[in-house]
Structure 1
């Protein structure tokens, strides 16, 4: 829902609504009207997506994130915190983060997140999934090209998702099913990609001329659907102030860490040092380096026998490394490749999590390995620029970068 409001406000601020001062605030007015951290110049907002279970009084915090908005540098950093993050909940001990909301609502969750990240949280925004469809219907739905048939049934929970592949006009309910679906091999990674496509669809919708007259009513009703301790004018001012920032100044990441089992329970163990770096690092405009060259385009269209030819050329197991820090990425990629017919030697993490572009490395001096690497690049839709030799390697290795979604989309299309 917050994504919808951001799109509406961004469009409104640039669509001739300049007669309203709150749509064009300056830095001074923001600092005067909005609480912020004077040491860092940031406004930190706890974002909670809440799911209500029929027949139960307790609400679940299905999505938890912290948005850190730098007023002076005009930078947005959003860190998604896994629900299973192991934290110390005041007066409860070590438990999963989403239990904090169930125990004590947003107040206890707020206190727990502050203790976890070591930063002040100035505001919160709670989005109830019951409200999401209403806002999507308010803008007349969205058009999205679904890249595969999404199906899931949970009779006990009353969940029935069935969205066909292809171009779809989605009403509110269908859009909610689309952005929440995660019951495939990609799990949460696939869900993030779908949410990004939904966001783009909303922006496209707001460009339609007939939407201009509806903006005031959309703002009014939309903001009423969000439970927050910000006033309506504060929310509008803050989003409008940040509407024109370049894309490289928007950083979206998951809380760094690792998965682990403790006493038979699955947890996400956070790397707080890496989290601190994420929250304080100054984003720089991406530039291609010697080690990372942006692929020019998706260079291959393969079908039928061509796929089998590529699989045959990749005659030995390969390695898949996660170069982004996004949990579970290497495992998801390996499952997609295995479903196509490519065998795995091993999966794991790369030396660092700063790979902007996906690349392929192969053992230096091996013509056979070079051919396998080229076939893998073709299969993944990567250009020859990102394929290079490396000394000391035993296997052809694909290192997933921050453009991994393009690779995943390609592999999904090739999956039988």
Structure 2
């Protein structure tokens, strides 16, 4: 595609996204849940005695898709994965990245540090200029295809944070519902009242889930974790709900009774794991690392990248746009303490 044609299509897509914010805001942002679904399937495989894939041996001398700090050496048994949620619907050839969650997994010490990165974060794209992080995948997919779109998104996040990223996993929204139903529902602590302003299902319009602990099926879990407008902090509030859903799912699937449900969960994986560079051996090694000592309340540490919203010139849109400027000091502090230790 010639550049002028590309710019025209990009501007048109951006304008559509600006004109229909409600539809865009309703896209599910549950990428973090993919990581623990991978763990679950891997745990089942680990029961077959594949002890030779111990994390300290398997996750050693890893390569990174993005590695801005070439001098940093990762410890064995440690890896970083970017979890991506795309707004592409069934049949779409391209889409915008709607959520990005970075996970630092230390399987030696059973620590899982996770950080949500706002989709509207301002980043520099070589050859294009400054734009929103959500647009990187879309731009690259148009020019180079789906896989390169993911790779370039990973590189953009790596350059932004300074964290070498070894793996990626991309999701869509439907899999969360399938996964929660496969394990028989979850018990989730909802941190504040949630009213469904833009639900996936029209019958749930204006339904309110009060703060507190609730038994949820897949449908309700899906509705809660993508609600934005009615919760404190909008996107930041939604990120907190995702963290609570993550803990609830992790607790439920580690119950002995759910071992028999692993085949159903494995079936649902194919429905929501759109793309990943993790191999079966990678997943099995993760399972071997967590299955004997996994306590999500204590081991999952959640962080939010903070900053300020500003109106900035977008080089792809060729117009001013609302963008999010991360606080470099806060970001660096989180990265140095929790993603490079």
Interval containing the TM-score (normalised by the shorter chain)? 0.5 to 0.7
Are the aligned partners of 1:10 and 1:240 in contact in 2 as well (CA < 8 Å)? no
Which residue, out of 99, 113, 116, partners 1:63? Answer: 99
Structure 2 residue 161 is matched with structure 1 residue 117:
yes
Q: Secondary structure at the match of 1:184?
A: coil
Please give the alpha-carbon distance, in whole angstroms, between the structure 2 residues aligned to 1:30 and 1:180.
33
Which residue, out of 162, 178, 195, partners 2:242? Answer: 195
- Counterpart of 1:128 in structure 2 is 172
- Counterpart of 2:217 in structure 1 is 171
Aligned length, in residue pairs? 280
Report the structure, 1 or 2, having the larger helix content: 2
Deviates more, 1:128-137 or 1:85-94: 128-137
Structure 2 residue 289 is matched with structure 1 residue 254:
no
TM-score in terms of structure 2 length: 0.67
1:5: Cα distance to partner? 5.8
In structure 2, do the counterparts of structure 1 residues 161 and 107 end up closer, same or farther at CA, with 3 Å as the change threshold? farther
Gaps of 5+ in 2: 1-30, 141-148, 314-319
Are the aligned partners of 1:8 and 1:215 in contact in 2 as well (CA < 8 Å)? no
Gaps of 5+ in 1: 284-416
1:49: Cα distance to partner? 0.9
Please give the alpha-carbon distance, in whole angstroms, between the structure 2 residues aligned to 1:11 and 1:234.
11
Structure 2 residue 321 is matched with structure 1 residue 268:
no
RMSD: 3.8
Are the aligned partners of 1:23 and 1:241 in contact in 2 as well (CA < 8 Å)? no
Please give the alpha-carbon distance, in whole angstroms, between the structure 2 residues aligned to 1:4 and 1:125.
7
Are the aligned partners of 1:75 and 1:245 in contact in 2 as well (CA < 8 Å)? no
Q: Secondary structure at the match of 2:170?
A: strand
In structure 2, do the counterparts of structure 1 residues 159 and 100 end up closer, same or farther at CA, with 3 Å as the change threshold? farther
Are the aligned partners of 1:4 and 1:199 in contact in 2 as well (CA < 8 Å)? no
TM-score in terms of structure 1 length: 0.56
Which residue, out of 123, 130, 136, partners 1:87? Answer: 123
Q: Deviations over 1:236-280 (max 9, x none)?
A: 312542563676664321224332222552221123343233122
Structure 2 residue 55 is matched with structure 1 residue 29:
no
In structure 2, do the counterparts of structure 1 residues 121 and 255 end up closer, same or farther at CA, with 3 Å as the change threshold? same
Which residue, out of 33, 40, 51, partners 1:3? Answer: 33
Which residue, out of 118, 137, 150, partners 1:106? Answer: 150
Are the aligned partners of 2:86 and 2:99 in contact in 1 as well (CA < 8 Å)? yes
- Counterpart of 2:281 in structure 1 is 233
Please give the alpha-carbon distance, in whole angstroms, between the structure 2 residues aligned to 1:10 and 1:154.
28
Q: How does 1:303-342 map to 2 (within 5 A)?
A: none
Structure showing greater radius of gyration is 1
Are the aligned partners of 1:152 and 1:159 in contact in 2 as well (CA < 8 Å)? no
User: Relative contact order, CA 8 A, sep 6+: which one is greater?
Assistant: 2
